[in-house]
Structure 1
């Protein structure tokens, strides 16, 4: 079985366990020596019977507690006595019990919700956001370092791929046609389409002027030689260009121009089709999927993610700079609202409780399984050694107390026997 890295780095919280073990064992040896001395000298000094009774009972009590303490971690004297080496033999069962204890007492939704009821997460967030620049609080330093380390450790291949995939999947799952139709209908109702329409008309006029020679060449190419000989092709080109320029000029100056009306009617029909016509909606969705599959769009999303990631790491590394300027003012305003608006605080805290309780309900079983499987994978000897080091000092106190209490009981029993 493998040795757990976590246990290999374990450092006992209570130093001096080895020294206490020597003291407890030394006291037991002292009791044995005192018992032997009193037994040898008692015929000459009858009063030593009281000391002998104390040493004898103390020796028995010390041996009993030594056996009990040792039996927790190993076989006493290496003998395979039943019901000894309890921790190594029951390591897996202890892990299961610990995992079930965590699940029953900490990782069920009602318990999590009850324990979080007294936490004011919204107020804490508000105070964090309102902290003035330069005020380095432990929360700010810890949160900033954690966020920056998280974004830097989870690089583009992992976190970036996850974010970009999530964005692309969300866009694929979202039917954009009704959204586009509703946006277009709202723009038409509020006449916000007029500047775009006039810009399109101006662009058409500029396109005519920029491509005049191309238009003349096309007309000349499609005119037969008789008309070319008579010079009619030039007059046809002039008429076409003049008519197109007059049309664009009239459309630009006359809001009620028939062509503009036709364009606006077509836009209204398009908005309605985007929202209600199945053929149009399916065509838009196919166009959306083709666009998401385009490599240029993937590169664009990658560029957006790179810039966002760099900005977040930079802000996390220097939170005071991130809290400065307009963004800082907005964040401080949000923090003030979080701290003073009782309804907002209550709503956010309730949402946080429900979110954490939901996570406990959804992932509590997985956490319990992780704990039990982790303990099952630990090396039994390592677990035993580390646990003994962690609680060894207190266990040796039990041995010392057992020796002294046993000796006191021995004196009491000797007194009852003598005086009875």
Structure 2
């Protein structure tokens, strides 16, 4: 474009020279001469204006030229101020963000297992470095400042009773009874000989065949009872087990004896932890297990983290009220950040622009907008020529 505009200027100069040379023989050349003269002036004037923005014309330090390099500092400050006042305002930022349900978008993104796995990988990848940076003193400080003071105020008995109550709601404790019964059956079946031996020691005056018969029948009866309890959800033993668990839960929560025992037990555990200096052992144990898990093909930590994020996504997607609260919370944070740090952001823009090389700034700006600026030169040539013809026509009419 620069070459085109320059060639057009040369064409105007060439036309002007031709008209000057042949006008005496051909008077009508006064019209193209007027066009060429004014076009040449317009092209030179616009060339000067365009070049003056970025450099000194022909290298001559004419006042008020090389405007952009000379005013880079002022331009940087003006640009930072312009961005701060017109873009980094709470009204603009919050106006843009308020129409977007960010919580719903985040929930939809997290529900995709691959997306949650990306976050899980990042978090899991940072764990080895985090664990390496933690030493025994850090763990001790954590326990002494945060864990142990809260443990001292913890009502272990009441907490255990509440957990037991939650466990028994909806008969969630019955599978534990089934597992216990299955374990008892397996133990009885595999230790019949031991039971016979102990029975024979306790019953010295009965024949061995009779002892074996009694023990076999006893074991068979217990196994049959276990099968009945497992097969019948309404078995009497299950109801007795439920009653015993409820009584235990109530006693743990209300009985002064149980609560005092819980406090003493917790106090002994805290003393044992403090006196044994187990902080380093705990740290080494945790570090070894986590690093071994992360180094394996199927990492439980990564899978657990990914599953947690997926669950959070599903839960958030199904709770519009929580989405509304999160969106409001994010908007409050965004408004607070804008009000607090908008000046720092504009100052960052100002400092970056000030740090640019003057010639490099001019070159980049000219490369970005230079095409349009060369159109100004081209248009100036034709506009100037047209105005020159109009002036020549007016002068001719007046003299006639």
TM-score class, shorter = 0.5 to 0.7
1:187 aligned partner: 159
Per-residue Cα deviation, 1:81-116 (whole angstroms, up to 9, x for no partner): 111111111112212222222222222333321221
Larger radius of gyration: 2
Contact residue 34 and residue 385 of structure 2 kept, 8 A:
yes
Distance of 2:330 and 2:15 partners within structure 1: 66
What is the CA-CA distance between 1:22 and the residue it aligns to?
Answer: 0.4
Instruction: State whether structure 2 residue 375 is matched by structure 1 residue 403.
Output: no
Aligned residues: 304
1:81 aligns with 2:62: yes
Q: 2:43 aligns with which of 48, 62, 72?
A: 62
Residue 92 of structure 1 is aligned with which of 73, 77, 81? 73
Aligned partner of 1:104 in structure 2 is 85
- Name the counterpart of 2:372: 394
| From 35, 39, 45, the counterpart of 2:26 | 45
From 356, 359, 363, give the equivalent of 1:385. 363
Q: Within 2, Cα distance between the matches of 1:90 and 1:154?
A: 47
* C-alpha displacement of 1:368: 2.3
Between 168-177 and 103-112, the greater mean CA deviation after superposition: 168-177
Q: Which moved more, 1:101-110 or 1:176-185?
A: 176-185
Q: Deviations over 1:262-308 (max 9, x none)?
A: 8635346669x99xxxxxxxx99x969x87xx444555665687689
1:130–1:335: 8 Å Cα contact kept in structure 2?
no
- Which region of structure 1 is more displaced relative to structure 2, 27-36 or 153-162? 153-162
Deviation at 1:41, TM superposition (A): 1.5
Describe the superposition over 1:150-193 as per-residue Cα deviations: whole angstroms up to 9, x where unpaired: 7799896589859x999998877647534652452632654859
Alignment check: 8 A CA contact 1:126 1:336 kept: yes
Q: Is the 8 A contact 1:129 1:335 kept in 2?
A: no
Report the TM-score when normalising by structure 1: 0.58
Structure 1 residues 154 and 181, CA gap change in structure 2 (3 angstroms): closer
- The structure 1 residue matched to 2:338, chosen from 352, 355, 360, is 360
Task: Report Cα offsets for 1:366-404 as digits up to 9, x if no partner.
Answer: 322222222222211112111111111111111111111
Cα 1:189–1:149, aligned 2, differ >3 Å: closer, same or farther?
Answer: closer
For structure 2, the residue ranges without an aligned partner over 5 or more in a row are 166-247, 249-254
Structure 1 equivalent of residue 390 of structure 2: 412
How high is the TM-score relative to the length of structure 2? 0.60
Q: Is the 8 A contact 1:185 1:268 kept in 2?
A: yes
